């Protein structure tokens, strides 16, 4: 007999909120598992969440990056989502991600922790494409 673990209600509600956002967003649980990303993120990444599903940190890191300005992988512990989950505080970074078609996109990402009433954690990150000067892509007419 298998048991299904229910996610904390706060993470379920965060997923529902993200589903209605036009801003790309990721949701991770306290173990760093990518448990959801919204349609806007899927458009930028070139894969809908339903095509990938829940994946661990090593998997989503190898699929999407992210990379620093020199093209090196950003260390897992330095990612805004990881900082938010582990330290329980907001984090922000500029980085490059890779979409499913191999194109790279410079983004800014802001993550904040989700702390549940029962002591579990998660984090949500919103991100948006920016140009080399840090200007949001939509603001200057460019596409990610």
pLDDT tens digits along 101-115? 999 999 999 999 999
- Is 0.85 surpassed by the pTM of this model? no
13-27, 32-46, 61-75: which has the minimum mean pLDDT?
61-75
Q: How many domains does the chain have?
A: 1
**Residue 94 in contact with residue 108, Cβ under 8 Å?**
yes
| Domain extent at residue 117 | 9-136
Q: Is residue 65 part of a domain?
A: yes
Q: Is residue 45 part of a domain?
A: yes
Give 45-86 pLDDT, tens digit per residue.
Answer: 999 999 989 988 878 777 788 999 898 999 989 999 999 999
Q: Is residue 19 part of a domain?
A: yes
83-105 burial code (b ≥16 CB/10 A, e <16): bbbeeeeebebebbbbbeeeeeb
Output the domain CATH number for residue 49: 3.30.450.20
Q: Is residue 14 part of a domain?
A: yes
């Amino acid at each position: 007999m298998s048991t299904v673990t229910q996610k904390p209600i706060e993470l379920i509600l965060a997923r529902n909120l993200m589903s209605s956002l036009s801003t790309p967003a990721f949701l991770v649980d306290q173990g760093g598992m990518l448990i959801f990303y919204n349609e806007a993120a899927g458009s930028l990444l070139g894969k809908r969440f339903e095509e990938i599903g829940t994946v661990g940190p090593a998997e989503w890191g190898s699929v999407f990056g992210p990379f620093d300005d020199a093209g090196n992988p950003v260390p897992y512990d330095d990612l805004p989502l990881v900082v938010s989950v582990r330290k329980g505080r907001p984090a922000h970074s500029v980085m490059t991600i890779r979409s499913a078609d191999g194109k790279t996109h410079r983004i800014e990402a802001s993550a904040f922790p989700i702390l549940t009433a029962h002591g579990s954690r998660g984090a949500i990150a919103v991100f948006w494409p920016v140009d080399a000067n840090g200007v949001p892509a939509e603001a200057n007419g460019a596409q990610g």
